Structure 1
Amino acid sequence: MSIEKYNQAKNLIEENDYLVDDFGGASDTIIEKAQVVLDVNFPEDYKTFLADYGALTFGSIEIYGVFKEDFEDSGIPDTVWSTMNERKLVDMPKHLTILLNPGMGELYCLNFADLNSHNEPKVTSYYPGFPETSQQNEVLYDSFGEFLLDMIKEEIE
């Protein structure tokens, strides 16, 4: 299950806390408001991440999350601000929520139109500026927990 992968990632984060810069956990109210604004229901592993960290910089990676209630007056790594911005700028589909910008032109997103066997969104690619018809939305990870664990392991190595 994805929460198990999340918990493995959390243990690695705690063991390597010198690489951590987090925003403090997000309240249930902020998490709920983020879901309403984005019109999605976050999976449990991502909600737990948000409650634990808000958003997270671990070494050189920046995992998007929520950490303040004023999404409009925010910026990176606020997932609501970033996702709403991309929806306006390049008409990014509403079933995608940004998790990471690795700086190579592609965004890693929770894809609420592509669910795993636990009915949770998979993490897929999205290339801003390309028409939806040419997007492959390649599945990168089966769940947020799997994504986070891999990102943390890569950064440690």
Structure 2
Amino acid sequence: MSGVESVAALVRLLRAHPDTCRWTGGLGPADLARAERELGSPFPSSYRYFLAELGSCEADGTDFLGVYRTAALGDTLLGTVEATLDARTDERFPRELLVIQYDGMGGLVSLDTAQRDADGEHPVVVWDPGSGDRGGPERLADDFGSYALRQCSRSVLDG
């Protein structure tokens, strides 16, 4: 299953479980382009599809930052944009990473934009301040879609 197909399955899973799953609402093309511009990197197809369909999500305790706004902060793009820009204030954080999730143990689950497969997808890695001493971030999945579907399925179906 491709990354985009995995996100389509994720969207179906979340919508089938409205009692335990929430999302902020999809982003339009202008906000997608703005988020990519602010981060200095285009999103892979699976993450773009996730953002366009859901914006961000929470599935029975598993959160994906996505990109969204709040009334209180107005035009500010939150989630991946804010978390990545904040992480980049730490000189150890690799600039090619885009934060998509917090792992709950001090790690930043991220898309590694320095690597790209034949479909244009970036692998999912986890970075923490000690990653450099261990040879770099640990690879978790080949693409966002498969990673997000696996994590949310565990929470919703196995939780």
Q: Does the TM-score normalized on the shorter chain lie above 0.5?
A: yes
What SS does the corresponding residue of 1:89 show, helix, strand or coil?
Answer: coil
What SS does the corresponding residue of 1:94 show, helix, strand or coil?
Answer: coil
Structure 2 counterpart of 1:146: 146
Q: Under a length normalisation based on structure 2, what TM-score does the superposition of the two structures give?
A: 0.87
Q: Per-residue CA shift, 1:51-94, capped at 9, x if unaligned?
A: 111111111111011113413xx4xxx11000000101354221
Quick check: 1:55–1:66 contact (8 Å CA) kept in 2? yes
Structure 2 counterpart of 1:18: 19
- Determine which structure has the larger helix proportion and give its number: 1
Alignment partners' CA distance in 1, 2:45 and 2:93: 24
Quick check: 2:131–2:137 contact (8 Å CA) kept in 1? no
Alignment partners' CA distance in 1, 2:145 and 2:126: 16
Structure 2 counterpart of 1:51: 52
Q: How many Å apart are 1:152 and its aligned residue?
A: 1.2
Structure 1 counterpart of 2:100: 99
Number of equivalenced pairs: 151
Unaligned runs of 5+ in 1: none
Structure 2 counterpart of 1:111: 112
Alignment partners' CA distance in 1, 2:145 and 2:131: 29
Unaligned runs of 5+ in 2: 70-74
Structure 2 counterpart of 1:70: 76
What SS does the corresponding residue of 2:89 show, helix, strand or coil?
Answer: helix
Identity %: 23
Q: Under a length normalisation based on structure 1, what TM-score does the superposition of the two structures give?
A: 0.88
Q: How many Å apart are 1:32 and its aligned residue?
A: 0.6
What SS does the corresponding residue of 2:90 show, helix, strand or coil?
Answer: helix
What SS does the corresponding residue of 1:88 show, helix, strand or coil?
Answer: coil
Partner AA of 2:145 in structure 1: G
What SS does the corresponding residue of 1:104 show, helix, strand or coil?
Answer: coil
Partner AA of 1:70 in structure 2: T
Alignment partners' CA distance in 1, 2:135 and 2:120: 22
Structure 2 counterpart of 1:9: 10
Alignment partners' CA distance in 1, 2:4 and 2:86: 29
Alignment partners' CA distance in 2, 1:4 and 1:43: 13
Partner AA of 2:76 in structure 1: D
- Alignment RMSD: 1.7
